[in-house]
Amino acid sequence: MTFADTTTSIRQLQEQVTGRVITPEDDGYDKTRRGFNLTIDHHPALILVAENAQDIAAGIRFAADNASAIAGIAIQSTGHGQHIAADGALLIVTSRMKDVHINADTRIARIEAGVIWEQVVNAAAPHGLAPLLGSSPHVGVVGYSLGGGIGWLARKYGLAADSIRSIDLVTLDGELRHTSATENSDLFWGLRGGKGNFGVVTDMEIELFPVAKLYGGDIAYPGEAAADALRFFRSWTSEAPDELTSSIAVMKLPNLPEVPEPMRGKNLVIVRAAYVGAAENGAALIQKWLDWRAPMSNSFHEMPFSEIATISNDPTEPVSTHYSNELLNELSDDAIDVIVRTMTNSASPLLITELRHAGGAIARVDKNASAIGNRDAQVYMQLAGFAPTPEAKDNVMAAIRHYKAELHPFLGGGVYLNFLLGEEAERRAKDAYSPESYARLLALKAKYDPENLLRYSYHLVTSVA
């Protein structure tokens, strides 16, 4: 059966839902399908822009009824995390499901599937409360948290997934299910780490934390300091309290007219951090860097939590990048040599290697509490390059392969799901889990999605039909 044979069903679907059904011929198709990473240029067979859980259930039933005409079901909120093109799929878009409700007494936020972090930050701030967002406030709460979610409070309060108290979702039988530590606990366990593999989440309850202010910012050093700075970062973080979450990035500024001439194509080292606690204690920790070497710039100051996005200043407009990650148990001198050699090689298309200091509260959570693995990794390493054309993307991918081959002896073997892209995301998703958790996830997959309709939400296993 082709999709053209199902036009009656499409019309029926539009009659059943409050939201909008969009075909490739309709206005708005291109705008709605577009994600944040322009290297993923997907062409779904049909888009359902859901307004509520009933719309999502209708979409899922439609997909099941028309399974022979569609390639599966993909889920998109902000599009920041599309890792593979959902060509020929039904794309369920949740971006209009935007309700946020804060209960300041219980310190719980109830959010709908399309809510972005900025909304929660702004709604929680008047109560002196904060959620566990990451570097960008425009990322979606659900996609981020189901993949783990490492943010600026991670060492103090854990991953965003650890802050989830309940998840409501529509499973592939069209049923709306409530999951928590006590209800449908098998699904609750697997969703936290298994992302969109078991259904489409409609609502979540997440814990908030009493953080009204933080001491944060970044300092920059010239590229020549990279090796020494990485070694200093290693010793600085080895003594860091859990109140401090930090990262160090070795960057190459693009050779573009937008970059001031003296810095074009040059390397830069950026140390970013957030300290939760008395500002003078945070300042004392940053003073160690200032005493080590005078930076080129220093933006550290006490700020309201609502300004947390200024620490990373992530791009707000769609970008064309290809990226990857690895997890390290330690940052050895040999690994530092490879990082510096790669990032200062003017021929390399890689623009950034960022190392995030993990551990702390992330590592203290019981390994069996959710599907999330690799909790003892000390460093989350992200690598990325600019990929505006297929040739540039191939070039970046080849550079990443070479980089990883050189780093191989120093890697822990684990990956972090939220920072995986493309074919590597399919191939290496299992490295995000312990063998026991992976086996448990496969059993859940066989129970809740035996046909692997949700195959665009990180392929747990290629052997599922």
Ligand X SMILES: Cc1cc2nc3c(=O)[nH]c(=O)nc-3n(C[C@H](O)[C@H](O)[C@H](O)COP(=O)(O)OP(=O)(O)OC[C@H]3O[C@@H](n4cnc5c(N)ncnc54)[C@H](O)[C@@H]3O)c2cc1C
Interface with ligand X (CB under 6 A): 35-36, 75-82, 94, 113, 134-136, 139-140, 142-144, 146-151, 195-196, 200-201, 314, 418, 456-457
User: What is the pairing mode between strands 350-357 and 244-252?
Assistant: antiparallel
* 3-class DSSP assignment, residue 283: helix
Phi, psi for 207 (deg, rounded to 5):
-80, 145
**In Å, how far are 3, 13, 79, 383 from 46, measured between CA atoms?**
9, 11, 16, 33
DSSP code for 455: T
- Residue 243 CB, nearest approach to ligand X (Å): 18
Whose Cβ is closer to ligand X: residue 144's or residue 438's? 144
Residue 363: how many other CB atoms lie within 10 Å: 15
Closest CB 51 distance from ligand X, rounded Å: 13
Q: How far apart are CA 180 and CA 184, in angstroms?
A: 7
H-type helices in 53-94, by residue range? Answer: 53-65
Nearer to ligand X by Cβ, of 80 and 322: the residue is: 80
- Could you give the CA distance from residue 39 to residue 79 in angstroms, rounded to a whole number? 12
CB of residue 234 to ligand X, shortest distance in Å: 21
Least distance CB 179 / ligand X (angstroms): 12
Q: Closest CB to ligand X among 42 and 340?
A: 42
Q: How far apart are CB 68 and ligand X at their closest, in Å?
A: 23
User: Is residue 14 within 8 Å of residue 8, measured between CB atoms?
Assistant: no
Cβ closest to ligand X, residue 139 vs residue 340? 139
Beta strands in 146-280 (DSSP E): 164-170, 176-180, 200-207, 213-222, 244-252, 267-275
Measured from each CB, the residue nearest to ligand X is 81
In the bound state with ligand X, the residue whose beta carbon lies nearer, of 75 and 340, is: 75
Q: Would you say 150 or 229 has its CB closer to ligand X?
A: 150
Q: How far is the CB of 394 from ligand X (least distance, A)?
A: 21
- Please check whether residue 20 is in contact with residue 56, taking contact to mean a CB–CB distance below 8 angstroms: no
